[in-house]
Amino acid sequence: MALNLSILYRGPLSSCNYGCDYCPFAKHRETVAELDHDRLALNRFVDWVAGRNGDRISVLFTPWGEALTRRWYREALIRLTNLPPVDRAAIQTNLSCGLEWVERCDKSRLALWATYHPSQIRRDDFLARCRELDRRGVRFSVGVVGLKEQLAEAETLRRELPRHVYLWINAYKPGLGDLTADESHRFEAIDPLYPINTQRHASFGRACRAGRSVISVDGDGTIRRCHFIRDPIANLYEPGFEAALIERPCTNATCSCHIGYVHLDHLRLYPVFEEGLLERIPAGAIWVRESPEFAWNT
């Protein structure tokens, strides 16, 4: 039977050109051998996708660190978006790389999940990259970590981003108790889905599509149902892995990360995101309707 599968791919890469002070990958460098290992693993994965004629495959790269500064990830997106089995190829990125390469993609199948790090790039420079993406016709979402000290910056970014671009706020859970009710409301005014992200959703025993129609794959092809449950369920490069793609209840107590809980059936978030599920773009521009506080500039 033909597969309809979303794959969250995270290879061995674990380095970043930025230096966010809360991040283990900040300014971490890898050896040439480690980078070679990552490149070969990625090429193997893309070759695998290329051979899946008859299936429908979507891919979200969720690297440890920043991957678009590496040529082989840009080439992978170019290749993936031009492959017949691929519906969507997306990547989480700090948007620090040049963007000419997107012209070689099938942009109808490309999407970026961009995060703004105010300590690492000037707002105007980040906005210029967003406008360039827009001009080039690329789908993308933008996000900011919901740190108390970044609230005003996030509000300014919201005002200056094109209206049709969704700005999500990732709740900074250790700091939630430090936010006043007014500050929480201001984050929610930016992102109406913020309250969902502030919660650790009870997930033990609950139905979740992770492991059935969406999986996590590492550089060796090891399949896990999601990034948050370590037990492997199969290997992508071994015949018959499809048999592992079955319904099973979640075995973790809670799920608190968007790329996980979005697949919990009872939260009913699939209709909220529809086609933008992988790149975190809600359908129907709900952030515009629900954020009258912002005087949109476009």
Question: Which residues of the shown chain bind ligand SF4 in the complex (CB under 6 A)?
Answer: 16, 18-20, 23, 25-26, 65-66, 94, 117, 203, 208, 210, 225-226, 228-229, 250, 252, 255, 260-261, 263-264
Minimal distance, residue 44 CB to ligand SF4, in Å: 24
Minimal distance, residue 10 CB to ligand SF4, in Å: 12
Coil vs helix vs strand at 276? helix
Amino acid identity at 80: L
* Nearest CA-CA partner of 175 in 161, 187, 193, 167: 187
Contact (CB, 8 A) for 110 and 90: yes
Helix axes 32-50 and 71-81, enclosed angle (nearest 10): 0
* Residue with Cβ nearer ligand SF4 (89 or 226): 226
- Taking CA atoms, 90 is separated from 57, 110, 157, in Å, by 12, 6, 22
Minimal distance, residue 297 CB to ligand SF4, in Å: 26
Strands 110-115 and 167-171: unpaired
Minimal distance, residue 269 CB to ligand SF4, in Å: 11
Minimal distance, residue 104 CB to ligand SF4, in Å: 25
* Residue with Cβ nearer ligand SF4 (25 or 294): 25
Which residues fall within 8 angstroms of residue 186, CB to CB, at 6 or more apart? 151, 155, 293
* Residue with Cβ nearer ligand SF4 (26 or 35): 26
* Residue with Cβ nearer ligand SF4 (66 or 191): 66
Contact (CB, 8 A) for 20 and 120: yes
* Residue with Cβ nearer ligand SF4 (151 or 229): 229
